[in-house]
Chain A
């Protein structure tokens, strides 16, 4: 009887979890080049390959020129650039809100040298949603020494209020008028990572988890984050 109860409860507990695919990241190979390239049978058609190369070159040019770089489709990791129309400095942004999540903008000039947007993961579950952007110098497993960044915004009724009630100690800084707390040993924080969190309202919490990034740099990144509902 307990066996069937466990099966039912576990299945119900995780039925809403729908992870985003990172297959392209794996097929591209981790740093060090130990993974063989995809076989010819798994390579995309030449026309798509050429388009992908062209898109990559444009993206590199956009980063170099400090343009606005924006992920355009929430369902893919496709990146395309647009001329800077709202800000003089370059920025990296998540997609327009399509299904779930919130659009984030981060100034690329605040990121550590060589670090770039790797992927974004919109997630819904329970009674809220979140968007997470991951940054690194190269796609990989995020288990090395860094520099790595995970910027997330989570939106759910009363979520930030609950977080504030559990926060201890004094805030370490102000981020856009909001008190921000830093922690490196709390629940949900992997060993070696540091968390900087602030609430923008009772229902919205922004968190930057980092590894191998100076506190001042993280704070500068935090102050550049803009959320577009």
Chain B
């Protein structure tokens, strides 16, 4: 999808499928997905935007924009989860009135449950059960071996079974 001459990449957007159509089709789903990962809609909007910027910058060099979007969004969510104040927990944030977006009750409850997981478990669970990705696709998004994903999901399900039990 791209050609390079020396150090300069030549871009021909007229030969590419439209980024705007991709953006319109994927934005809402991506923000929702990342909201589950980080427990904050406002933060998710910024992470999704950053992911879309990365895709646009490499649009003509990406073979599978959908898979690349999952990877960018997962990386963005992981970076944010790792850099945030570890003294605050996700359930604190989900119920915090500091949120600039008013969360639905269902969102607060789900964020509370997901907050019991490790960062990578949380990302994997959202990609598996919200996005319906295979373990191979999740491994690509998390940049890990496929064999790592199964145990992540197994441990996460055990925690969530207790958290979400009626």
Contacts and interface: CB of A to CB of B under 8 A. Distances in A.
Interface of A: 2-3, 5-7, 9-19, 21-23, 25-27, 30, 34-36, 38-42, 121, 123-130, 132, 141-143, 150, 152, 154, 156, 159-160, 162-163, 166, 185-191, 195, 197, 205, 207, 209
Interface of B: 11-14, 16, 18-20, 23-24, 27-28, 31-33, 35-36, 40-46, 48-50, 52-53, 56-57, 80, 83-85, 87-89, 92-93, 96-107, 109-111, 113, 125-126, 129-130, 132, 157, 160-161, 164
Given A13-B36, A30-B53, A191-B84, A125 B23 contact: no
B68 to A, nearest CB: 15
Contacts of A152: 100
Given A17-B35, A185-B85, A187-B92, A154 B99 contact: yes
Contacts of B106: 9, 12-13
9 nearest CB pairs, A to B: A39-B13, A163-B97, A187-B93, A14-B32, A13-B110, A128-B102, A152-B100, A6-B129, A188-B98
Given A154-B97, A188-B99, A195-B98, 11 more contacts: A16-B104, A23-B24, A26-B19, A36-B13, A123-B101, A142-B46, A143-B46, A186-B88, A187-B98, A188-B43, A189-B85
Contact of A35 (B28, B46, B56, B83): B56
Contacts of A127: 102
Determine chain B's interface SS by DSSP, over half rule: helix
A162 B52 CA distance: 35
A112 to B, nearest CB: 20
A13 B111 CA distance: 9
A14 B42 contact: no
A174 to B, nearest CB: 20
Contacts of B89: 187
A2 B161 contact: yes
Contact of B43 (A141, A156, A190): A190
A191 B85 contact: yes
Contacts of B11: 36
A13 B107 contact: yes
Contact of A130 (B13, B53, B101): B101
A35 B50 contact: no
A130 B161 contact: no
Counting chain B CB atoms within 10 Å of each CB, the highest count among A9, A19, A21, A130 belongs to A19
Nearest to A195: B98
B149 to A, nearest CB: 14
Contacts of B107: 13-14, 16-17, 125-126
A134 to B, nearest CB: 9
A186 B80 CA distance: 14
Nearest to A156: B102
A182 to B, nearest CB: 12
Contacts of B16: 39
A132 to B, nearest CB: 5
A163 B44 CA distance: 22
B96 A14 contact: no
Contacts of A189: 85, 98
A168 to B, nearest CB: 12
Contacts of B46: 141-143, 190
B119 to A, nearest CB: 15
B109 A125 contact: no
A166 B98 CA distance: 10
Contact of B104 (A125, A143, A197): A125
A148 B138 CA distance: 34
